[in-house]
Structure 1
Amino acid sequence: MEQSQRFFDLLLDIRRLYVEEMNKVLLRHHLSSAQWLVFKEIAKQQPTTLVEVARSRRIEKPTATKVIHHLIELNLIETSEGTDKREKILTLTPAGSNHYATMLREVIQKQQEILAEVAHLEIVTDELAIIYQQLQKRKDE
């Protein structure tokens, strides 16, 4: 098998296993990994909008809308009117802020458990960052 194909196959397998492990943590909080990523994006960028979240997560607006409605139902985020009445500003609720801090600790702890045995993690991470930048550069050309 060609080396590059093997690399990408392993990368996809690692991602799948990682998502499975993260979903065990997130399930306790009634979230999927996709919902967690949107929730985390809102927490990091607040105040933000649906359009900004969809763009930064590289997801379609209808998908972002569905996830955001779920987060609102869980009382994790709230909306307010922007300058344009069609625009909704997204922020975490006080409960959402507390929930985010708890979840972040649990997710980070799980990540550390998964990676505790990986030797040379910094080198692997740096190399992956280079590969990502090269792929992004090609995409933008």
Structure 2
Amino acid sequence: MEQSQRFFDLILDVRRLYVEDMNKVLTKHQLSSAQWLVFKEIAKQQPTTLVEVARSRRIEKPTATKVIRRLIELNLIETSEGKDKREKILTLTTAGSEHYTTMLHEVIQKQTEILADVEQLDLVTNELSTIYQHLQKGKDE
């Protein structure tokens, strides 16, 4: 098998295992890893909009809409009118802010446990960042 194919297969396998571990943490908060990523994006960028969240998470708007509806049902985020009636501004509710802090702590703790024994994590992270930049550059061309 080519080196590059093995690399991408490993990336996908690492992602799958990571998502499984994160879902164990997140399910007790009634969220999936995909919902968590949208929730985290809103928390980081608030006030924000569905379009901005979809763009930054690189997901389709209908997918973002479905996730956002679920976050509203859980009283984690709220919407308000934007510049026109079609635009909805997304922010965390008070309960959502508290929940976010708790969940972030739990996720970071789990990530730390997972990566505790990885030697040269900084080097691996820097190399993956470089690979990501190359992939992004190739996509933009």
TM-score (norm 2): 0.99
Shift in Å, 1:83:
1.0
Deviations 1:39-78 (A, max 9, x none): 0000000000000000000000000000000000000000
1:17 aligns with 2:17: yes
| Residue equivalent to 2:121 | 121
| Residue 51 of structure 1: aligned partner | 51
Question: What secondary structure does 2:31 align onto?
Answer: coil
CA distance in 2, matches of 1:59, 1:15: 17
Q: Give the AA of the match of 2:19.
A: V
Can you give the 5+ residue segments of structure 2 that lack an aligned partner in the other structure?
none
Q: Which amino acid aligns with 2:46?
A: Q
Note the aligned Cα RMSD (angstroms). Answer: 0.4
Instruction: Write out aligned runs for 1:95-114 (5 A).
Output: 95-114=95-114
Partner of 1:62: 62
Distance 1:59 1:10 in 2: 23
What is the CA–CA distance in structure 2 between the aligned matches of 1:57 and 1:33, rounded to whole Å?
Answer: 13
What are the within-5 Å matches in structure 2 for residues 30-41 of structure 1?
30-41=30-41
- 1:40 maps to amino acid: K
Query: Residues of 2 paired with 1:93 and 1:121: CA distance?
Result: 35
Partner Cα distance (2:93, 2:83) in 1? 20
| 1:83-124 deviations in Å (ceiling 9; x for gaps) | 111100000000000000000000000000000000000000
Number of residue pairs the alignment of both structures matches: 141
Q: Distance in 2 between matches of 1:140 and 1:102?
A: 37
TM-score (norm 1): 0.99
| 4+ runs deviating over 4 angstroms | none
State the Cα distance separating 1:21 from its structure 2 match: 0.2
- Structure 1: distance between partners of 2:15 and 2:31: 18
Distance 1:66 1:6 in 2: 34
The aligned runs of 1:85-96 (5 Å cut-off) are: 85-96=85-96
Aligned residue number for residue 84 of structure 2 = 84
The one-letter code sitting in structure 2 at the alignment partner of 1:36 is W
